[in-house]
Amino acid sequence: MQNFVNAFEAIRDFLELGGPVLRLIGWVILFMWILILERLIFFRTGLKTLRADAIKQWEERSERRSWYAHEIRIKIISKVSMAANQGLPMIQTFVALCPLLGLLGTVTGMISVFEVMAVSGSGNARSMAAGVSRATIPTMAGMVGALSGVFLITVLTRTAKRSIQTLEDDMGLDH
């Protein structure tokens, strides 16, 4: 129990050290990871079922050569593609937002450094230290969040494209 309390206090101290922008970055990273985990679970379970249903629907058709059949094939593939790509643009937005929020944290932290310099009238290192840490911690957090998201959004995007391409190949037109 004491370890849990110590961990909670360490996280609280870290968030206070980075200021309000760090809390915002934390929420963005949390929502980004919730969406990433949802997509990973969907790719492992729901997408396989959706693909199997699409192939079954296509193979149940007695006629697959006409223009009408071709349009139905496109519609089936499009439905699976939309389901596979759902949520990916939002994850990409969160990935792009993380470094921008880190930059916002840098700016707000440096503003507090300049305020201290204006009040004290000198470059007192101790009085500027809080502002410098408030500037660097959100920057680091934003970059870490973006880097973790960049890797996984690349994996998710490639998985979705590969899955759709395989479905198109499996639902080839009879000639």
Give the model confidence (pLDDT) of 123-174 as tens digits. 666 666 666 777 788 888 889 889 989 999 999 999 999 988 888 888 775 4
pLDDT at 126: 67
Average pLDDT rounded to a whole number, residues 60-64:
77
Tens of pLDDT, residues 63-100: 777 888 788 888 888 898 898 898 899 999 999 999 99
Average pLDDT rounded to a whole number, residues 23-30:
88
Paired tokens of 96? 């792009």
- Give residue limits of the domains in the chain: 2-170
pLDDT at 161: 92
